[in-house]
Amino acid sequence: METYQYQFLQTADEMTPYYDLVMQMGYLLGREQYKSYLEEMIPKGYRQLVILEGSKAVGLSGYWINTKLFCGRYVELDNVVVDIAYRSKGVGAILCEKIEAEAKALGCNVAVLDAYVENFRAHSFYFRHNYIIRGYHFLKQL
């Protein structure tokens, strides 16, 4: 396995340089709109973890710590992305492991995430890492 470094990010200025990696998710956001969304999300607890190979960002996940009635304190992985050239090289596992460890240290009981229904490769990855399908995430355009 490759040797990777990681860094937890807390500010929009720290997160914005990784815009191109996040856009591999297929979002149609300009760089300024991305930064604007981050500036709105961060005060609500949004953070990111970036995985680096040297100075190249090869994986990134946002995450939120919150509380829900059904599970208590939890971490939600959000916008999990691994650079296409680095998939199946352990980067996704590092993202999950580091965020889960941070969440445990912060008293979380559960890790949750969403994966698009057509993203079968992601489903296989999460099943291998002991995630289960517990429900459906519904969406309605307003």
**Residue 63 sits in which domain range?**
5-128
What distance in Å separates the CA atoms of residue 55 and residue 22, rounded to the nearest whole number?
A: 16
| pLDDT in the model for residue 139 | 87
CATH number for 43? 3.40.630.30
- Cite the DSSP H helix spans in the chain: 12-15, 19-22, 31-41, 91-105, 120-128
Query: Token match 């992601």: residue?
Result: 122
Residue 141 maps to a domain = no
Residue 140 maps to a domain = no
Task: List the pLDDT tens digit at each of the 142 positions of the chain.
Answer: 468 999 999 999 999 999 999 999 999 999 999 999 999 999 999 999 999 999 999 999 999 999 999 999 999 999 999 999 999 999 999 999 999 999 999 999 999 999 999 999 999 999 999 999 998 888 899 9
Residue 24 maps to a domain = yes
Residue 134 maps to a domain = no
Residue 21 maps to a domain = yes
Q: What share of the chain is helix, strand, coil (3-state, %, to 5)?
A: 40, 30, 35
Number of separate domains in the chain? 1
Residue 139 maps to a domain = no
